[in-house]
Structure 1
């Protein structure tokens, strides 16, 4: 059976891993990644398209300069994207988040195993926790980088606006605001770092104690040597 200290440390790491897993599910399930206002100029007036969307779906509405507002409508992101580059970016982000979800699940399993037992295999101990938490954090970081790239380089919001209203003409400017679904990923990275730090402190303390017990006899106190 594991010691109380090990149980407490790995239980804390297990809690952070589970929180990370749940938050990745929230990131995938919620559609509050981006709010965009995309302005287009026409022959007689300018049009503003307001978009709120995530990786799978969103809503859009149109405002004409004269004050006319078109009712809000829902759309599917994949259906509104005509460019291969934008579709590929969104697909890549989804795949990377799913890989992060699996990594977080494996990390939760490894920490839970160490709470209730002392696994013999080295990789099932701290090394496994380090590996899966690091991979999860890396996957989430890549997703956080790729999404802004898809907005700026692949003109994601502009393509989605054209998908909602096909008659739009010349794009003039855009304004973007990242939603809570995007910023939650930053919290996920912090949770993965926290899991690694917790296990590192336990592993370091165990290593120091082991070295102390293996201290050579010449370093022992003199009164102990006399006996």
Structure 2
């Protein structure tokens, strides 16, 4: 029967990983960014219109005011469909972000299974031991961090919002995008944090168990050689 200390550490780690899945799952379903861009007809130099977008990973909405000439309110934005129309770097980066987040969820699922298994078993010398948790949660942290970087790069440097607007209306000029990251993006930070904490909780238990085992072996190692001969 596992000790209460071991149960507490591994079940706490499993709970943290489960919380991370819930946080990331919600984050992937809500808005990630909004942007307002000045807009003008392609044959005009007067930027009197605007396009406002609020998007998640998969869908969003757009409001166009005189962009280029007709107002459109609350138009649905299928993010992948629009980005794919122009087939440029933004759709590649956005696809990578979604794939990385899916891998993060898969890693978290692996972490939950490993920690629950370790709560009632003792497979320390196999990949299903603590090293399995370190691997799965470490993978989740790395890919989520990379997704965060790629999304920011796509939004600010990759002209993702300009691509979304021009995919629906090619005859416009755009400038001065004002981009604001939303809750879905920022939920990556607590997701990364809880996975790091899940690793720390198990590491503290493993380190304490290792230290205790070494202390138990110490009297034998320190015994006089004369005694050890008998």
Please list every run of 5 or more consecutive structure 2 residues that lacks an aligned counterpart in the other structure.
Answer: 224-230
Please list every run of 5 or more consecutive structure 1 residues that lacks an aligned counterpart in the other structure.
Answer: 221-227
Match of 2:64 in 1: 62
Supply the RMSD in Å over aligned alpha carbons: 1.9
Q: After TM superposition, what 4+ stretches of structure 1 lie above 6 angstroms from structure 2? A: none
Q: CA deviation at 1:46?
A: 1.5
**Aligned with 1:126 (options 112, 123, 130):** 130
Q: CA deviation at 1:27?
A: 2.4
CA contact (8 A) 1:45 1:64 kept: no
1:106 correspondence with 2:110? yes
Q: CA deviation at 1:120?
A: 5.8
Match of 1:85 in 2: 89
TM-score by length of 1: 0.89
Match of 2:17 in 1: 17
Map Cα deviations across residues 159-209 of structure 1 (whole Å, 9 max, x no partner).
Answer: 1112333332x2221100000000000011100110011011101110110
Match of 1:224 in 2: none
State the alpha-carbon separation in 1 of the partners of residues 143 and 154 from structure 2: 16
**Residues 129-144 of structure 1 aligned to structure 2 (within 5 Å):** 129-144=133-148
State the alpha-carbon separation in 2 of the partners of residues 176 and 184 from structure 1: 17
Question: Number of aligned pairs?
Answer: 216
CA contact (8 A) 1:11 1:112 kept: yes
SS for the counterpart of 1:163 is helix
**Residues 1-227 of structure 1 aligned to structure 2 (within 5 Å):** 1-30=1-30, 32-42=31-41, 43=44, 46-64=48-66, 69-81=71-83, 82-119=86-123, 121-168=125-172, 170-217=173-220, 219=222
